[in-house]
Amino acid sequence: MPLQVCLGDINVCKIVEKTNKAFPNISEWWCVDWKENMNSAMDESGMMKSVLITGANGGLGKECARQLALQNGIEKIYLGCRSEDKAIGAKKDLEASTGKNIFDIFLIDVSDLSSVHRAIESLKNPIDALVMNAGGWGGENPLALTDDGVTNVFAVNVLGHALLAEELLKRGMLTKVGLYVSSEAARGIPGMDERPELTTSSIDEFVSIADGTFFTERSDSTKPYAPVKYTGAMWLSSLARQYPSVRLITMSPGGTAGTEVTSSSSLIKTYIFKAVMSVMCLMGKMHRLETGAKRFVDGLLDESYQSGVFYASVEGITGPVGDQTEIFSDLGDETYQDNARAAIRQFLS
Ligand SMILES: NC(=O)c1ccc[n+]([C@@H]2O[C@H](COP(=O)([O-])OP(=O)(O)OC[C@H]3O[C@@H](n4cnc5c(N)ncnc54)[C@H](OP(=O)(O)O)[C@@H]3O)[C@@H](O)[C@H]2O)c1
């Protein structure tokens, strides 16, 4: 077995070398399994030291920050939050739960382009990784327009992240990995979310998803979420082709209980959705917060997750992840991907 399989740590390599001599037929899985349990942020392209996570004061973003802090080599985690008070609280919690003093508050409201511009200017050093996690159903009025001309649900899930990532990449300020958080809803979840049905997948049609005119049926506030997360995944795949030296992937956390993702809708809906999620978790149809956030950590650290690919549950909303073009082939169409990006750029200019 080649030594490099077992990371670059010289002590690890010595142990493996001795083991290989003693047991020449040692199987590769043993070593890979060991690697998975090493808690190291080392990969073939070098150490990942700094990570910025949006929406890091709660839910999956905060749990992702906690898990990353426990990886060897991570020296700085920027907690991207829109509320300073919540950010201070999250920083204290994370310092207590990890014993690490590596968290910096990074104020950013991803639903407001002027806030994103300010945040970018405030970043003094390049970051190795970016987790575009902030998002959800878009508050009490998901289809109301922001000052940037897009719906609330589009602003929080896509537009702000698009500005952040495009600008950091252009400036050479994002050096290794970018992870956009999408959802299985983007390829359809039987019995829960209909697959986004686009007619032409033209630039104009993606613009209509951004400004809300795509949605004729406006009574169900959860409906816009799937086409919006679909557009985000398409944008990222297009971006990945322009920046091949940075690994850019889309990842869904899967159905994850214990977050506030459903809280932005009405109180009754919030209660019902939380109850349903807890029951589904007990039935093994969803998973816990730790499991959902671990998908992000895996996506960042494991280079076998390929740039430009949208990973989510192979079946349902939990279990192993795989390339979602197997389920929804439109996701792999480069023209559609480029159209999604061109539509988004119309709102960035
Ligand atoms: N949970 C699931 O089952 C599930 C499934 C698929 C995909 N996802 C996706 O996973 C991501 C995280 O969701 P979650 O379940 O962890 O939800 P959550 O508990 O509601 O966390 C969302 C985080 O995003 C922040 N946020 C919201 N709007 C923001 C803005 N404009 N600017 C900056 N931060 C903002 C929230 O901060 P505040 O406290 O200030 O609101 C919070 O920290 C979302 O993109 C969601 O769509 C979740």
**And the tokens for 289?**
């917060």
Mean pLDDT computed over every residue of the chain: 88
pLDDT at residue 39, as a whole number: 64
Residue 328 scores a pLDDT above 60: yes
Q: Which of 13-22, 206-215, 279-288 has the highest mean pLDDT?
A: 206-215
Local confidence band at 10 (pLDDT 50, 70, 90 cut-offs): very low
Pick 269 or 154 by higher pLDDT. Answer: 154
Number of residues assigned to the chain: 349
CA-CA-CA-CA dihedral for 59, 323, 71, 118, to nearest 10: -60
Most confident of 15-19, 261-265, 320-324: 320-324
> Does ligand 1 have an atom closer than 6 angstroms to the CB of 58?
yes
Lowest mean pLDDT among 19-23, 125-129, 204-208: 19-23
Q: Is the dihedral of CA 83, 88, 94, 97 positive or negative?
A: negative
State mean pLDDT over 165-174.
98
Task: Specify the pairing of strand 46-47 against strand 42-43.
Answer: antiparallel
- How far does residue 28's CA lie from ligand 1's centre (Å)? 38
Q: What are 88-135's pLDDT values in tens digits?
A: 999 999 999 999 999 999 999 999 999 999 999 999 999 999 999 999
Choice from 52, 82, 106, 276 to test ligand 1 binding pocket (greatest atom count within 8 A of CB): 82
**pLDDT given at position 1:** 30
60 lines ligand 1 (CB under 6 A): yes
> Phi/psi at 103 (nearest 5 deg)?
-100, 130
pTM: 0.88
Amino acid 277: pLDDT: 85
User: How much is the pLDDT for 3?
Assistant: 33
> Is the CB of residue 134 below 6 angstroms from any atom belonging to ligand 1?
yes
CB-based contact 123:135 (threshold 8 Å)? no
**Phi and psi torsions of 50, nearest 5°:** -130, 140
Nearest Cα residue to atom 29 of ligand 1: 134
What is the number of the ligand 1 atom nearest to the C-alpha of 90? 43
What pLDDT, on a 0 to 100 scale, did the predictor assign at position 264?
A: 58
Band of the pLDDT at 257, cuts 50, 70, 90?
very high
- CA-CA distances (angstroms) from residue 268 to 37, 223, 262? 42, 17, 11
pLDDT of 101: 98
Residue with tokens 């080392």: 42
pLDDT digits (tens, 9 = 90+) for 69-89: 999 999 999 999 999 999 999
pLDDT digits (tens, 9 = 90+) for 283-315: 889 999 999 999 999 999 999 999 999 999 999
Mean pLDDT of 165-185: 98
* The predicted structure's pLDDT at residue 26: 35
Residue 14 has pLDDT above 80, yes or no: no
Report the pLDDT value the prediction gives residue 47, as an integer from 0 to 100.
Answer: 87
pLDDT of 115: 98
Instruction: For residue range 265-282, list pLDDT tens digits in order.
Output: 577 777 787 888 888 888
Kindly state if the Cβ of 59 falls inside 6 Å of ligand 1. Answer: yes
Whether 120 contacts 93, CB under 8 Å: no
- Indicate whether residue 256 lines ligand 1 (CB < 6 A): yes
In this predicted model, which residue has the larger pLDDT, 46 or 3?
46
pLDDT above 90: residue 28:
no
Q: Would you state the pLDDT for residue 45?
A: 52
Percent of the chain residues past pLDDT 90, beyond the cut:
74
Give yes or no for residue 253 CB within 6 A of ligand 1.
yes
| Closest-lying ligand 1 atom to the alpha carbon of residue 111 | 31
pLDDT top residue among 9 and 122? 122
Percent over 70 (pLDDT), the chain: 86
**Pocket lining: 110 vs ligand 1, CB cutoff 6 Å:** yes
φ, ψ of residue 344 to 5 degrees: the values are: -60, -40
Angle at 313 between CA 312 and CA 315, to 5 degrees: 145
- Residue 7: is its pLDDT beyond 50? no
- Candidate of 261, 281, 297, 311 to mutate for ligand 1, largest count of ligand atoms within 8 Å of Cβ: 261
Residue that is written with structure tokens 């998973």 in the block: 287
How many C-beta neighbours within 10 Å does residue 270 have? 15
